[in-house]
Chains A and B, each alone.
Chain A
Amino acid sequence: MDETYSSKVYWTNCLWLMGLLALTWALGYVNFGVFNLVIALAISFAKTILIVLFFMHIKGSSRLLHFAAITGLLWLLLMLLLTLSDYYSRGWVASPKHGF
């Protein structure tokens, strides 16, 4: 039988997630230029890590499951990197039409 967390762990996690959501939301009303996207994605990754570690029980699970959990992200990054480098090298996305 796997380790059972106390319900306090889940409620604490919930509070952190709500706090991060409030931060993302507030970010929608200020202008940091291109950093709006960077910060928003950083917050999304932070939320994802909290969900994966505690809600999805990756914390405390086996190495094999850690590996399986990271696979999806690696495949996604490969797909993005290879496709974008292909587009970039063909000049298809080299010049944003209106600048960032």
Chain B
Amino acid sequence: MSEAASLVAEQFDDLEQQHEADKLGMWIFLATEVLFFGGLFLSYTVYRYLYPNVFAAASRHTEVILGGANTAILLFSSTLMALAVRSAQLSRRKPLIWLLLGTALFGIAFMVVKGFEYHKDFIDHLVPGAAFQWHEANPQAAEIFFWLYFAMTGLHAIHVTIGIILMLVLALLAGRGKFQNGNYMTVEIAGLYWHFVDIVWVFLFPLLYLAGHR
């Protein structure tokens, strides 16, 4: 049995069909993820429509420099991930390990920046709940904005954390030579997940940080 044939599970005719099924499964999962985040985007839309000025005022209290820097960090991380998939396709073991570690490292950098932001929000009494303080118009609506801010960035941060763990595990497996000779689909699928998480942030950044111009 050839190397490529040994990768094919018995329910598939060939490797190409198996890869197609792998990718289709992941894309369908991502569609459900779109809806998972979609509920929050829907709430955001309704409340922003109801309280446009409060949302604009509240978004001016977010850290636009840190949020923008984090967008760049994630976009760069996605680039490294795409290059990692390429290395896996070409069975280049060493570059694959380093690119996966680089992807994870930038994911960690994202989480560190987010941590500083959350810390500042906490000190500024912007965390919804008993300690929430708002000195401008309509504190209830502002609290809704920050509830959505924490729910959306929090759910996203959970996804980033899962992605970081995934990349580290893949780097470990790559070190053992698992993704050689055309066996790259696991890396490709993990890449799809990581790029999806990037896309979510591409929408969160303007909606949460730039709702009001400065």
Contacts and interface: CB of A to CB of B under 8 A. Distances in A.
A68 B46 contact: no
A68 B199 contact: no
A5 B192 CA distance: 16
A14 B76 contact: yes
Chain A interface size, as a band, is 35 or more
B90 interface: yes
Chain B interface size, as a band, is 35 or more
B86 A7 contact: yes
B23 A24 contact: no
Nearest to A88: B49
A79 B27 CA distance: 19
A5 B83 CA distance: 9
B81 interface: yes
Interface of A: 1-2, 4-5, 7, 10-11, 13-14, 17-18, 21, 24-25, 27-31, 36-37, 40-41, 43-44, 47-48, 51-52, 54-57, 61-62, 64-65, 68-69, 71-73, 75-76, 79-80, 83-84, 87, 93, 96-100
